[in-house]
Amino acid sequence: TVLAIGNPFGLDHTLTTGVLSGTERSIQGLSGKPISGVIQHDAAINPGNSGGPLLNSSGEVIGINSQIMSSSRSSAGIGFAVPINTVKVIVDELIAHGKITRAALGVVLGSKETLELVAQDSGIP
The answer to whether residue 106 is domain-embedded is no
- In percent, the amount of the chain with pLDDT more than 90 equals 48
The answer to whether residue 109 is domain-embedded is no
Q: What CATH number should be reported for the domain holding residue 70?
A: 2.40.10.10
Domain that holds residue 94: 2-99
Coil, strand, or helix at residue 111? coil
Return d(Cα 80, Cα 69) in angstroms, integer: 8
Give residue 14's pLDDT: 92
Give residue 69's pLDDT: 77
The answer to whether residue 116 is domain-embedded is no
Q: How many domains does the chain have?
A: 1
Q: Is the pLDDT of residue 18 over 70?
A: yes
pLDDT in tens, 35-78: 889 999 999 888 888 899 999 999 999 999 998 776 666 566 78
The answer to whether residue 80 is domain-embedded is yes
Q: Which of 12, 6, 93 is nearest to 55 (CA)?
A: 6
pTM of the predicted model, to two decimals? 0.74
Give residue 111's pLDDT: 75
